[in-house]
Amino acid sequence: MGKIKTSEPVSEWLRRRGPGYPYVLSSRARLARNVAGIPFPHSASEEELERARGVVLEAVAKAVDPSRELSMNFAEELSRDELEFMAEERIVSRAFAENPKGRAIVLKSGASWSIVVNEEDHARIQTILPGAQFIKVWEDADKIDSRLESQVQYCFDHRLGYLTSCPTNVGTGLRVSAMLHLPALSITGEIAKTIAALSAHGVYVRGLYGEGSGVAGNLYQLSNRKTLGLIEEQIALKMESVVRQVADKERTERKVLLKERFIDTADRVSRALGVIERAKRLYFYEALELLSLVKMGLEMELLHVRDFNLLEVGVGICPQHLRRMLPDAKEEDVDCERASQLRRLLDL
């Protein structure tokens, strides 16, 4: 099993579109699991982390993917740049990149699924697909989980379910999430009401990189809050229903903008395109905001530029993705390259 390479974007799903496009960009399922008899990672010794890592990786090699189309790596053997590259593609978290010792990453070719070892839990199984495919991502994660469990005894309580490092994950250990592009809700101010309603119904609303990250480019990550007291399929079905309703709200608000605020909206998206066409330097979050507006303008037929996948282009202008083309660049050079790269990616 080879080492992860970062000469090209790893995640094939970034290039594709799925059901619910253009409002729903991706769906993800993540299962948190721990090895019985070994302390959770946050309280484990170095020796115990090594033990847990060995158990999980051996189980993966034996049962999870017989085709061996995997990259399996000790995190401390990867450079900080490689780890940050994967964080930008949402394969691992930012926290994973900051403290790699005792951790590992198992990555399926094309990044359709991964297993992160010894981050918050001994194993976090993640599957991700383009668009709204909540049942499919859950079923894919469940298959991997079943194969892993055939080799590993999990921490499990017959009353509570799977035991996890964070109490909010106890039960199924399942988080089902979606990445949505909601510029119209943001512009009309309806996003605050939407977030409040989602929170009341047990749905987290977070930014591009999940917990602790801010919203950028009008990209919102929705995920279930409750993992205890529901079966896994119910969680996936609930998220499917919730996301459909939010996507419908975004569609409605875009019609409102066209009908009631046409000139303002056309001006806003045209100005965003103009900045992208002429800017000499663009900061990352600034570029995402501009991209979001141009994408909305394109979808509302207010602009006539080449269509593009928002997440694919957004990842392509992330700091680490740009630095691989400029290995010795200063931060200012990266910001200048971002402006040029954005025009290349959009054929401007």
**Assigned token pair, 296:** 């909305």
pLDDT of amino acid 13: 81
In a domain, 6, yes or no: no
CATH number of the domain within which 171 lies: 3.30.590.10
- What CA–CA distance (Å, rounded) separates 68 from 166? 31
Q: Report the domain count for the chain.
A: 2
In a domain, 211, yes or no: yes
Looking at the structure, do residues 189 and 295 belong to the same domain, yes or no? no
Mean of the pLDDT values across residues 235-240?
A: 95
In a domain, 55, yes or no: yes
In a domain, 1, yes or no: no
CA 10 and chain centroid, separation: 13
In a domain, 313, yes or no: yes
C-alpha angle 67-72-73 in degrees, rounded to nearest 5:
170
Q: Tell which of 252, 283, 306 closes a domain.
A: 252
Looking at the structure, do residues 49 and 174 belong to the same domain, yes or no? yes
Looking at the structure, do residues 98 and 240 belong to the same domain, yes or no? yes
Q: How confident is the model at residue 6 (pLDDT cuts 50, 70, 90)?
A: very low
Of residues 237 and 208, the one with the higher pLDDT is 237
In a domain, 296, yes or no: yes
Looking at the structure, do residues 192 and 289 belong to the same domain, yes or no? no
Looking at the structure, do residues 231 and 277 belong to the same domain, yes or no? no
Percent of the chain at pLDDT > 90 equals 69
Domain coverage including residue 275: 261-345
Looking at the structure, do residues 248 and 265 belong to the same domain, yes or no? no
How many other C-beta atoms are found inside a 10 Å radius of the C-beta of residue 45? Answer: 11
In a domain, 200, yes or no: yes
Tens digit of each residue's pLDDT (9 = 90 or more) over 156-203: 999 999 999 999 999 999 999 999 999 999 999 999 999 999 999 899
Looking at the structure, do residues 217 and 288 belong to the same domain, yes or no? no
- What CA–CA distance (Å, rounded) separates 171 from 123? 15
Tens digit of each residue's pLDDT (9 = 90 or more) over 264-289: 999 999 999 999 999 999 999 999 99
Nearest Cα residue to 150 out of 35, 231, 59: 59
Looking at the structure, do residues 182 and 284 belong to the same domain, yes or no? no
Q: Tell which of 252, 279, 297 closes a domain.
A: 252
Which residue's entry shows tokens 């049962």?
63
Looking at the structure, do residues 154 and 71 belong to the same domain, yes or no? yes
Q: Tell which of 252, 273, 300 closes a domain.
A: 252
Of residues 105 and 332, the one with the higher pLDDT is 105
Q: How confident is the model at residue 209 (pLDDT cuts 50, 70, 90)?
A: low
Looking at the structure, do residues 307 and 178 belong to the same domain, yes or no? no
Looking at the structure, do residues 176 and 278 belong to the same domain, yes or no? no
**Length of the chain counted residue by residue:** 348
In a domain, 228, yes or no: yes
Looking at the structure, do residues 278 and 135 belong to the same domain, yes or no? no
Q: How confident is the model at residue 70 (pLDDT cuts 50, 70, 90)?
A: confident
Of residues 4 and 126, the one with the higher pLDDT is 126
